[in-house]
Amino acid sequence: MTALPPGCRSHVVDVAGTRIHCVEAGDGPLVVLVHGFPESWYSWRHQLPALADAGFRAVAIDVRGYGRSSKPLAVEDYRMVRIVADNVGLVGALGAETAVIVGHDWGAPIAWTSALLRPDVFTAVAGLSVPYSPPGPYRPLAMMRALGGEEEFYIEYFQEPGRAEAEIEEDVRRWLAGFMFSASGDAPPPDLTKGTIATIAPGAKMQDRFSYPTDALAWLTDDDIDVYASEFEHTGFRGALNRYRNVDRDWEDLAAWRGRSIEVPALFIGGDRDGPTVWGAAAIAAFETTLPKLHDSVILEGCGHWTQQERPDAVNAALVEFLGSLG
């Protein structure tokens, strides 16, 4: 069992037959923290005590497919509407009627969509690293094929069950270390003549373009990598990757919300060295329309993709200020 941050407790909640593992701290208004890929509740280890100290009940979950949460076998059981249903059921199972939802990486679209579909339950939302963009008119995988050009965009690479799993599970710990470092603000700038980790050359593997740290990282220690590796060595990656395998299905499910703004108070935090922040510049520029109750859009200088781990103090300060503004 992973050592918990001070003042935290771990438990499993039954959400309509789905097991959701939670690590929580504090008392007060409920704040649900949703991780991304390839992470777990542990990515919020710095936020749980800070939010508890600020007077909130912070609950970091393992999304279905991860950690100690349920891992259904069917790919379609990882569609967005089912994960949103998990979040709605979780709030009730925790004895609350409403919550603020905060998400990072894949957790950001999960959080944005939870607030879009159920603003009565999720009365405020914060997204880290992936800006909100309303459901659009174009099928996602078709756009990703166009983005990849002669290579394969990484989400397309993840589509075939077993393919990415085989690469990652050759050496789980090394793959995680390379992936997380390569997407961080500490990684060397990519040599664009050789491509980036966002695309995979024909016949190659994603890890062929990873870089690795030469010195210890303050934000990601060997012990931290061990925590993530230990989780995935037990669970495998099928459930985690199945989220990517639903992007077109999500597009179909969310057709009724195409172009819709989110009408609850919102916060965005990104890093200026993070791919989704750079690619998402147009989405960020549209926040006045898509997030009409935006409280702030914070871009952290020198920060890569792992915002709440790379810049915990800045993220904690922004979250606490946002939560305090909600009254």
Catalytic residue numbers, as ranges: 105, 305
**Among the listed residues 34, 37, 42, the one whose alpha carbon sits nearest the alpha carbon of residue 10:** 42
CB 265 within 8 A of CB 296: no
Counts for the chain of helices (H) and strands (E), in that order: 15, 10
Q: Which amino acid makes up residue 196? A: T
Residue 87: which residues within 8 A CB-CB, separation 6 or more?
32, 34, 101, 110, 114, 121, 122
Question: Tokens 């259904």, residue?
Answer: 72
- Measured CA to CA, the distance from residue 202 to residue 319 in angstroms comes to 42
Q: Residue 135 in contact with residue 111, Cβ under 8 Å? A: no
Cβ contact 186:304 at 8 Å:
yes
What are φ and ψ of residue 257, in 5° steps? -105, 10
Helix (H) or strand (E) holding 224: helix 222-235
| Burial class of residue 198 (count of CB atoms within 10 Å of its CB; 0-12, 13-18, 19+) | buried
User: 10 Å Cβ neighbour count for 253?
Assistant: 17
